[in-house]
Chain A
Amino acid sequence: MAGNSAFVPINERGWRRGLRNLLHAGFAEWWRTNNWWTHALIWSGVLGLMMAGILFSGEGAAGLDAVGFVTLFGGMFPTVAVVIIMQGAIVGEKQNGAAEWILSKPVSRTAYILGKFVPNAISMPVAMLLIPMVVAGIVLRIAGVRVAPVNFLAGFAVVALNMLFYVALTVMLGAVFKRRGGVIGIPLGVLFGQQYVIGAVPALAKVLPWGLALPIQGELSNSVAGALLVGRAPETWLPVISTAILTVVFVVVAVWRFREVEL
C-alpha cells in the first residue's frame, strides 16, 4: 500500500479477519442509535401494560399466577419482532449490495455471520426482554407479588434462550435463502406451528423451544421459565438443552453455508 506506513495494520487472521470491526459496528447499530430505547420502550409498554391489566383488573389473575404471563408475552411478542428485524439482516444485505461491499474488504465469511449474530443475540434480549421484564417485575411488585432476583434472572435467561433460537434460525435462513419469504415465513411457522406439532406428537414438547416460555399444558407457570420465576424446579430441562444445541447448530450451518454463497 502506498502512503500508509504510519498506520497500525490489522493483525487478525483467518476466520477472525474483520470480526472486531463488524462486532463494533453491530453493537453500535443497537446502542449508539435510538434502536435500543425505541425497542425497550415499546416492549416495556406492551409487557408493563399487559401485566397491569392482568393484575389490577377485577377479573385478572392474581399473585404468582400472574407471573406466568410475563414469560407468555415475553416469549411470544418480542420473538415475532426479532424475526421481522432479523429477516433483513443477511438477505436484505445480499439483495441490496451491502454484503458485497462488506465482503469486498478483508473480511472472512465467518466474521460476517458472527458480526450479524453476536450483536443481535446480545442486544435483542437486553433491549427487548430484560428491560421490559424489569418493568413487568416492578408492576408485579406494586401489585404485591415478589419474585426473588435469582428466580427473575433464571427466568429471563430461559426466555432469552428462546429468543436466541429465533435469532440463530433467522441468521441461518438468511445465509441459505436468496429471498426474504422463507427467512420470515419459516421462523414464524416454527413459532406458531409448534403447538399443533406438540398436539399431534406430545413427546416433542420435551425438545421443542415452545416449552421454554410457553406452557405445554395446564397453568401458565408450567413453562420452564414460568416455573423458574415462581421458584419451582421445571418438570424437565430437556427443552433448554435441545434449544441450546439447535441454536449452536443453526449458527454453524449459517457459517458453513455462507462460505459457498456467491454475491
Chain B
Amino acid sequence: MAVICGAEGSREGLGRALRSYAASFGAILGGRWKCLVMRPERNVVVLGLRERGRALSDIVIETSGLTKSYGEILALDGLDLRVPEHSIFGFLGPNGAGKTTAMKLLLGLIRPTAGSATVFGMDVARDSVEIRSRVGYLPQDPRFYEHMTARQTLTFTAHFFFKGPEALIAERVEEVLELVGLQGKSDRPVEGFSGGERQRLGIAQAQVNYPDLLILDEPAASLDPLGRRDVLDVMARLRKHTTIFYSTHILDDVQRVSDSVAILNKGKLITSGPIEALLAGSEGLTYRVVFRGDADAARTRVAQHDWLTSIHADGGADGQHHWRVAVTNAEAAEARLLRVLLDDPNVVVTEFRRQTYELEDIFVKLVEGVSDGGQ
C-alpha cells in the first residue's frame, strides 16, 4: 500500500503530480483529509483518503450505519464502529444483540440491508473473498467435516490460503495443534470431538493462515477454566501480529485482555471506546477519597485548584466523609489532592484511589438503561 500526502510530501517517493493530486483532494474535502492511500496489487489507484492524525490503514474494521433486518426484525441497527489495528476489540451484548450478525456481515456471509462496512479498506459486499483471504474466523458453534481428523481439517483449511510447500504447511498445522493443545487428538476424526475440543480446533483453524484479523465469535464458550485461560493467553500473544475482534459474554475475560470494547443491545451500539475510558465511568476522571476531619475547610482548600471539576459527597454514616472528586488532570490530582487535604493536621485520610468500575456493572447499567428506555 502506498500513502501519498499532499501537504507532508510523498513517503513512497511517488511523483509530484500525485502529491499535488492528493493536496487537491485534501483541499476539496477539508482539513481532516490530506493523504491518498493506494493499493497497486489490486490494480486500484485510489482506494481512499487518510485521515489526519490517523492513517486509514490503522483502522482495520470500519462500519457506517450498518443495518441488517430479517423481514420486520431489525437484527442490526445503524452500527458505526471503528476497530484499530493490533487492538483486542471486545464486542459485547446480551443474546440476540446483533453481534454474530455484525460478524457475518463483515465476512460477507450475509448482505447488509443498509449502510456499509470496510475491512482493510475493502468493501465487505464487493471484496468479500479478498477480505477473507486475510481473516481467520471462529464461528459461534464451529462445525467441520466430520470424517476428517483434526490434522486433515487444518491442512484442508491451510490449502485455501497456501499452495505449498507441503512441509511448511504440515509444520504450521503441527504448530497450531500444539498451540490449542490438540496434539494428542490430531489424528482422531472430528465426529468424536467434544464441544471443547471442537472449540479448540476452531481456534486453531482460525489462525492457521497467519491472519491479519481474527474474528472470534464467543472464543471461550464451551471451554473449561484452563482452556479459557489458554485462549486468553493466545489472544494476548497474537496482539502484536493481528487485530482481534471478538464477542463474548464473559466480562472478566474482556476486562483482562481487551483494549477496546463496544456494547451492543437490541441491534444498536450503546457505547464504544477504550476499555480504560469505559471503566472510568461516565463521570470522567474521578478520585474517591474517604477521610475524617473538617470537610468544609477541606472543600475550600481543594476548590482553589484549577484541575478540580467537582466534588460529590456521598453518605458518611460511618462518621467519615466520602467524596468523589472529579478532576481534569490525573497527574496534578495525584500529586496535589492528598497533600491539599492533609494540610490540615486534623484530617485523617483512610482511603484514596482512582474511581474505576467493574465492566459487569457498566454493562448491566448500560444494557438495562437502554432496555428501560433511558440512555
Contacts and interface: CB of A to CB of B under 8 A. Distances in A.
A104 B161 CA distance: 12
Contact of B139 (A6, A7, A101, A262): A101
A106 B130 contact: yes
Interface string B140-167: 0111110100000000110111111100
A203 interface: no
A21 B160 contact: yes
Interface residues of B, number: 38
B110 A263 contact: yes
A105 B144 contact: no
Contacts of B159: 10, 21, 24
Interface of B is mostly: loop
Interface stretch (B22-30, B209-217, B278-286, B322-330): B209-217
Contacts of B261: none
B321 interface: no
A100 B109 contact: yes
Contact of B209 (A1, A21, A24): A1
Interface string A93-133: 00011101101111110000000000000000000000000
A9 B168 CA distance: 12
Interface in B186-223: 205, 209-212
B247 interface: no
Interface residues of A, number: 30
B147 A106 contact: no
Contacts of B161: 4, 7, 9-10, 105-106
B109 A103 contact: yes
Given A9-B162, A33-B147, A263-B110, 9 more contacts: A1-B210, A2-B242, A4-B161, A10-B160, A10-B163, A25-B156, A97-B141, A104-B137, A262-B104
Nearest to A2: B241
A11 B135 CA distance: 17
A105 B132 contact: yes
A97 B110 CA distance: 14
Nearest to A262: B110
B288 interface: no
A35 to B, nearest CB: 8
Contacts of A11: 163
